[in-house]
Amino acid sequence: MSMEIRRLDDVLARSDTGELFRIERFRVGRRTQEGVVPDYVFRLTSGERLTRESDRIYRRAGGERLVELERRQVPG
């Protein structure tokens, strides 16, 4: 079995106490006889894995909630 790992992007998130974190998002595909089975990995830059609760909410192992900040349009 082989794996494909692709970094999707980084996002900023804020904790309930106001601390900022950068979340790295990856797509991990495991090759099986049926094809590629996608999975996603979310982690802080420190390497700590996160659990994704919704589109913009993540949870640290200790229970702290992180909310992804809105992306702003860059003026052109």
Q: pLDDT of 12-55, one tens digit each?
A: 999 999 999 999 999 988 777 888 777 899 999 999 999 999 99
Q: Which two tokens stand for residue 69?
A: 């900040």
- Give the span between the Cα atoms of 76 and 66, in whole angstroms: 30
Q: Does residue 75 carry a pLDDT above 50?
A: no
Contact partners, residue 61, CB within 8 Å, separation at least 6? 48, 49
**Contacts from 16-20 at CB under 8 Å and sequence distance 24+?**
16/64, 16/65
